[in-house]
Amino acid sequence: MPPGRALDPIDIPAWAWSREDTRRLLQERDIAGLLRLAQRYGGASQTRLAAATGIAQGRVSEILNGRKQITALDVIERIADGLNMPDSARMLFGLAPLDLTILTQHRSATAAAAPLVPPPSVEPDGQQEESVKRREFVGLTGAALFEAATGPAIGLEDIASALTRYAGAATGQPTHPPDLASLTKAVHAAKAGYQACHYGEVARRLPALLNRLDAATRQFDGDSLLTAHSLRAEAYHVAASVLLKSDERGLAWLAADRSMQAAENSENPATLGASARIVTRALMTDRHYGAATELATTMAERVDTTAEEPTADSVSVYGALLLSGAVAAAKRENRGQARALLDEAEEAGRRLGGDHNYQWTAFGPTNVLLHRVNTAVEMGDAGSAIDHARRIRLDNIDVTERKVTLFVDAARAYSQWGKLDRAFEALVTAENLASEELSARPSVHTLINDIGTRATGHLRGNITDLAERVGLTR
């Protein structure tokens, strides 16, 4: 070992981090396996491992022999640093990335030392290219695409049955009043599951929850009934969101309308405004951008003027509606209105005083920046999108769905810019955060196909492998 190198991070080739067995080691936090990886591909001795990670050599030997387990987060961080783990691997390892160089125009020295794009295959010359040619990108839409992400029988048919049951209570529906506390807990679990991108699990639990909430509104009265209506509005909001992810537009419209009706019955302006957001999304999905902008801005004004005293809930819903309106305006290429609504939302974020998740909006200054990225992409301004993304601190984003959306938007921007390798890197980072999000979104499916048709060489193989992992090839 050259003098002065004992404390340097271990140099593991970038392609080693991209291997499927390495991804598994990272996901399982198999420390012993990762240290053996460093020995095999980085040429690191136990002495070098000890120096790089700050772990005593005797302890390193115990870890490698399976006699010692590592659970302390600070030690895990030191291991990631000592192995010079790239951000894509760190995130798969359950750690925050060191920076957002994946979203910037110029990569840092650390990122350059460990690029995210895997290296050439070890297949004999010509075999990789032929295997790429044999694998065709296919268009999956609707329930087929959603099932690619979550497996078969995820419950869409059961959701459809719950939405179209007009003859009263479901068969076997209990006649005694449901427990309001358990309903609240179940609805909150559904909202949290959706924001964590656990769409398959949420979809499986929704039908029974919707039936229970429908029954609750028939059996409660007074304040309990108003609360049940609010919970019902939130649950149908989740149902509409899941259905939009799967491109089931007709059912999504039905669920969104049910959410609005329940919100009206709840007599809660913040709940009504929150439900209006899903109707706005449904309108945008069907390209009714003008109507979406009008609904979002009108409801934002209603929420703002109805509240006697601004609350965290009302300010969050108000700001989130403005952001929805900004996206709709951007989609109809109304730059002036989009920027005005973003600026107004930014002021609401300052009033709120930080990033929060009131009324499940994830609203705050960071969410405004996320929407500046999104609207810039919608208007084809890739440079501005990346510039906005560079200002975002990932540790300010607590909602996984929003974090994944940032990297997907970055991939879209890089694709517009013609920087396909960086678009691929952003997609891999999004996959590491939540693979269901990539598989469940038709727009991401289109993006992957688009990059695949334009990519050449090893990038073509990499993007095809990604498409296979998320179920978009045959």
Nearest residue to 255 (alpha-carbon basis) of 299, 285, 227, 220: 285
Q: How far is CA 135 from CA 20, 278, 294, 428, in A?
A: 19, 37, 45, 19
- pLDDT score of 27: 80
The domains of the chain, with CATH numbers, are 1-98 (1.10.260), 100-134+399-474 (no CATH)
- pLDDT score of 7: 45
Length of the chain: 474
- pLDDT score of 138: 46
Burial of 292 (0-12, 13-18, 19+ CB in 10 A): buried
Nearest residue to 431 (alpha-carbon basis) of 7, 27, 15: 27
Give me the tens of pLDDT residue by residue for the chain, a chain 474 residues long. 343 344 456 888 888 888 888 888 888 888 999 999 998 888 888 888 887 887 887 888 889 988 888 877 778 878 888 888 888 888 778 776 665 444 444 433 333 333 333 333 333 344 444 444 434 444 444 444 444 444 433 457 888 888 887 645 554 454 556 789 999 999 999 999 999 988 888 999 999 999 999 999 988 999 999 999 999 999 999 999 999 988 888 999 999 999 999 999 999 999 999 999 999 999 999 999 999 999 999 999 999 988 778 899 999 999 999 999 999 999 998 999 999 999 999 999 999 999 999 999 999 999 999 999 999 999 988 989 998 998 998 889 999 999 999 999 999 999 998 899 999 999 999 998 888 888 877 788 889 999 999 999 989 999 999 998 888 754
Q: Quote the strand ranges of 331-453, DSSP E.
A: none
Query: What's the half-sphere exposure (Cβ side, CA atoms, 13 Å) at 461?
Result: 16
